[in-house]
Amino acid sequence: MNLDSHKILIVLHGSIGDVTRALPLANLIRRRYPNARLSWSIEPAAFPLVENHPAVDDVILLDRSRWWQSLGPFLKRIRSGRFDLVLDLQRLLKSGLISWWSGAPCRLGFHRYDAKEFNWLFNNHHIPPAGDGISKLSHYLKFAQWLGIDPYPVEWRLHLLPREKAQVERMLRGVGSHFAVFFVGSRWESKKWFPTETTKCAAALQKRYGLDIVLLGGKEDANFAEEVEGFGLQRITNWVGKTSLRQAIGILARAQVSIGPDTGLMHLSAAVGTQVVSLWGATSPTRTGPYGCQDLAIRGEAPCSPCYLRRCRIGRICMQSIDVEKVVAMVGKVLSQKSEARGARN
């Protein structure tokens, strides 16, 4: 299929992590078909990831919090785009309806065995079934393969504007050049680690490796971060709920390593080349682990793990089982590999 000069729409209104993992697909399309016009249908949370992205020509925003005002103009833009091809990456009823409404002659989505909410009915072409045994990123790259595009290289091309870089510089002015990021929150309560263990781990990283500590997360994670601060640990900077998404990307890019549970910042860290020590309980790194950091995943142990439940009724025993010393040792592994790589270059 030759897509040069075609109008292509990616439909993905998902989480920050999902949109991050779909960026390599957009880059592959842009690399193979530089004259195609690529649009992206998205919601506000992940909008900063595709706004001004070099692979994306146009962003069509649906503000679901004000749907009564935004839905009409949104649907008008979808229909007036006169797209030749839609890539429905979300596999839900909502994305299927958007794909169908576009009127595109070719609407490519997930196979019925991998789709949800009858999504497959709204698309007229489907990638082969894959199941949940492969990562989401690999699943998205199946769309490239269906289009006859080699699924490599995997690139994100997340670059800050000069003013955003200056903002990050100011935010890190009091932080040492060698620091670790703890991304402390998650939309699912069941995925979170604990303030006490986070503090113990941060203290050990300072003592053993001389790392400063930066806390990142959303406004909903402020209480968690304040509890960590309350333990009185020195050389810790709390930016939880105080950064934009793009500022958080800039901070992650400068860190030596990042640590935390299954959340969007985990994927952004991997995307900007900062190794992630990820902590798992309710979900599985097989499906949603950060790219290139599979060997750094630490799984909690519980008979019910992974349960894929948003809330845990038994105190998150899987996350309780994650040993602080094991996390510290895994960070040491990352730092050792970075040191060896620098030595090889020199």
Dump the DSSP string for 21-62: HHHHHHHHHHHH-TTSEEEEEE-GGGHHHHTT-TT-SEEEE-
Q: Is 321 among the domain residues?
A: yes
CA distances from 290 to 21, 144, 287, 334 (A): 9, 20, 9, 15
Query: Tell me, what's the pLDDT at 5?
Result: 80
Let me know whether 238 and 104 are in one domain. no
Work out the pLDDT band at 191, boundaries 50, 70, 90: very high
In a domain, 158, yes or no: no
Looking at the fold, whether 184 and 84 belong to one and the same domain comes out as no
- Judged against a pLDDT cut of 90, whether residue 94 lies above it is answered with yes
Q: Is the residue at 32 inside a domain?
A: yes
171 & 318 share domain? yes
309 CB-side CA count, 13 A: 10
Answer whether residue 153 is part of any domain.
Answer: no
Q: Please state the domain count of the chain.
A: 2
Nearest to 148, CA basis, from 67, 33, 280: 33
In degrees and rounded to multiples of 5, residue 95 shows phi and psi of -70, -35
Sheet-wide strand order for 212-216: 236-238, 212-216, 179-183, 257-261, 276-280, 298-299
| CATH number, residue 47 | 3.40.50.2000
Confidence of residue 340 (pLDDT cuts 50, 70, 90): confident
Considering the domain architecture, whether residues 102 and 228 belong to the same structural domain is answered as no
Instruction: Give the residue from 146, 173, 205 where a domain finishes.
Output: 146
In a domain, 2, yes or no: no
Quickly count: other Cβ atoms within 10 Å of residue 339's Cβ: 10
DSSP letter (8 states) at residue 281:
S
pLDDT tens for 238-263 read: 999 999 999 999 999 999 999 999 99
Instruction: Check pLDDT > 70 for residue 156.
Output: yes
pLDDT score of 301: 93
Do 49 and 179 belong to one domain?
no
Residue 123: predicted pLDDT: 98
Range of the domain at 100: 7-146
Same domain? For 168 and 117 the reply is no
Over residues 120-143, the pLDDT tens digits come to: 999 999 999 999 889 999 999 999
154 inside domain: no
Rounded (10°) angle between helices 16-32 and 136-146: 30
Residue 202, domain member (yes or no): yes
Same domain for 223 and 126? no
The answer to whether residues 96 and 229 belong to one domain is no
Answer yes or no: is 157 within a domain: no
Residues 105, 183 within the same domain:
no
Same-domain status, 142 and 174: no
Provide the mean pLDDT of the chain.
95
Residue 10 has pLDDT above 70, yes or no: yes
- This prediction has a pTM of 0.95
If asked whether residues 178 and 140 sit together in one domain, one would say no
Q: What percent of the chain has pLDDT over 70?
A: 99
pLDDT at 4: 80
Same-domain status, 69 and 27:
yes
- Pick the last residue of a domain from 118, 146, 174: 146
Mean pLDDT of 323-336: 97
Look up residue 9 and give its amino acid: L
pLDDT of res. 346: 61
Domain boundary among 117, 146, 175: 146
Encoded tokens for 222? 């402020």
Is the pLDDT at 342 greater than 80, yes or no?
no
